[in-house]
Structure formats: C-alpha cells, structure tokens
Amino acid sequence: MGVRLPLAVSQGDPSGIGPEIALKAWAARRPDTRPFFILGDPDLFERTAQAMALSVPIARVTPAQAHGVFNRALPVVSIGSVRGVPGHPDAADAPVTIAAIAQAVALVEAGEAAGVVTNPIAKDVLYGAGFKHPGHTEFLGELAERHHGGRLLPVMMLWSPALAVVPVTIHISLARAIADLTTDLIVETGRIVAADLRTKFRIAAPRLAVAGLNPHAGEGGAMGREDIDIVAPAIARLRAGGIDARGPLPPDTMFHAAARATYDAALCMYHDQALIPIKTLAFDSAVNLTLGLPFIRTSPDHGTAFDIAGQGIAQAASLIAALDLAALLADRASGMA
C-alpha cells in the first residue's frame, strides 16, 4: 500500500476558532488519522498554541513534506501573514483567507493533496477583498469550473450518522429561495445527490425523501400550490429516471427517528429547513460535504464563533469528523477502502 496523500486544510478566518480547533484536531490525532497540513500563517498557529497552552509544535513545510512531519508536528504551508486577533475579525486578513481556500483546491487538482477541508469563514469580512460568493459552496463551484470548464452545480450536504440533509436552495434569503425554487433545480440536485451517494458512500440504491416547501406539504393546495406545481413534478421526474425519491413530505414529520430510518438523504427546499434538524441532532459531529465537485471537500458544520475565539473552549469534534470523512472518501476514491 502506497503513502496516502495528506488532506489540505484551509485555516479559515484567523480571528475565529479555526486555528484553535485545527491545533486540537492534531493533538487528538489517532494512529490511523490521515495526515493533513494547514494552509495559512505559521506564526498565527504558533501564537495560538502558546496562548492556549497547547503543546503542539508547528512545522513550516511544503505540501510534499507534510506526511513526513505529521506525527511530530502540525504541518503548516505558509500562504501569508495575518494579524489574527481572536474575536476581532480584520478585513486586512481576508486575502490570505481566500488564498488558502483556492490553494487547497489547486493542490488537490495537482495531485498533491487527497481532499480539501475548510475551516469556517465569515463572508462579510471577505467581501471587501473581492469575495463575491454567498458561501464556501458557491466559491468552490467556481474554482472547480476554472479548472475543468463547463457549468457545475455544487450541492451542499450536511452529513452525520444520524441524518444527511441537502438544501436545494442555499445561502439566499427565504423570499428569494421561494422565488428561485424550480422543478429543474430540484431534479438536478436530486440527481447529483443520488449519484454521489452511490459513488462516494457506496449506497447501491439511494433513497431520497423530498420535503414539501409549505407547511403540511401544502395540504393539497390549501397552503399554496408550490408543492403541487414545482416539487411533485420534480419527484416524478426523478422516479422516472430510476431514483427512489418520495414526497413531497410534510417537513414537520420527516426527521423523527422512525422517519429517518426510511431514507438515506433528505432534500429540503431551503437552508434552515435542512440545517435546523441536523444541527439539533448532531451539532458537534455533523460535517458539511460538497457534492457535485470533481474533488473531495468537507468542513465543520459550524461558523467562526468569534464570541468564544481565544477562550480555549472551542470543540474540535466537527473538524475531526470532517477530516475523518474526507479521509474515508479519499480512500474509497483511490480503492484503498
């Protein structure tokens, strides 16, 4: 068995909890943990380790050197210097935050890393540096298109052993989500989810539960016709294409334990319809996974947590879960698992 490529991890917003949880994830590494390296500012990680009294040595490396030093130090590939004051985001740090994400993708595309794991960012901090995307998912889609050409639809999945959910519309207002929801978008999203459940998760016949948009899935049109005119035709088209999709289902009865046992992923019509149930069930362990890309990308399912940054209390469980899932998917992609 050959040496497994390391995972490329972007540092996230340097004033958030990303640096702290990355240090804690390395400190909690197991013998079977796939090596990873951070793309960011090595000085930031040394400062953070010292401030948090974490016994984590930092190694300044190239991507090729990361595997060799991982067992004795956290490898950091320098992207640039940042100020990184915990809890006080600085727009001057935004270019390095953006560059770390782009470089992680470039290294995977170049065959120097097995997958991308991203630490949390604050989009409002990045906008002044030219970031034009609603979130990581959309930015990663654009980066993939630059490398491969053509149009890609990046699909956001929040995954945990208890539940996997996919919002069909993502980082937009609720009013716009309703306006933008189309049968075609639901169908395209459902096809991508089913395909990646087969290839990445090795589920031979994925089962999709499709939520209605309105309360009680519209109750036969009494609460709006969107479920009749938009959602139901999408489900019919998915089924006609050989995908086991059912619905539209009343969103308030889809997520109890007995219901969850009947499907592999839930397609939800807007962001909070998907994220509220999974963050309730698996707040510390769920993983944000981007489907529909030609590379593996995972992330913790939480944000920058500026309010607790620098206090030493941030939990690394979701980042560790994201690293573990990325490693598993990379092993499957290479035939090693």
pLDDT tens profile 15-44: 999 999 999 999 999 999 999 999 999 999
Sign of CA dihedral 48, 53, 56, 60: positive
| 179-209 pLDDT per residue, tens | 999 999 999 999 999 999 999 999 999 999 9
Which segments of the chain have a pLDDT < 50? 1
CB-neighbour burial class of residue 182 (10 A; exposed 0-12, middle 13-18, buried 19+):
middle
Q: Which CATH architecture fits 1-153+293-337?
A: 3-Layer(aba) Sandwich (3.40)
Kindly give, in sequence order, each residue whose CB lies less than 8 Å from that of residue 154, ignoring residues fewer than 6 positions away: 137, 138, 140, 141, 144, 290, 291, 292, 293
Residue 331: its pLDDT value, please?
A: 92
CA–CA separation, 324 and 62 (whole Å): 22
> What amino acid is encoded at 180 in this protein?
D
Pick the CATH number of 162-281 from 3.40.50.2300, 3.50.50.60, 2.30.30.100, 3.40.718.10: 3.40.718.10
Residue 1: its pLDDT value, please?
A: 45
CATH 3.40.718.10 region(s) of the chain?
A: 1-153+293-337, 162-281
What percentage of the chain's residues is helix, strand, coil (to nearest 5)? 45, 15, 40
> What amino acid is encoded at 34 in this protein?
R
CA–CA separation, 58 and 317 (whole Å): 21
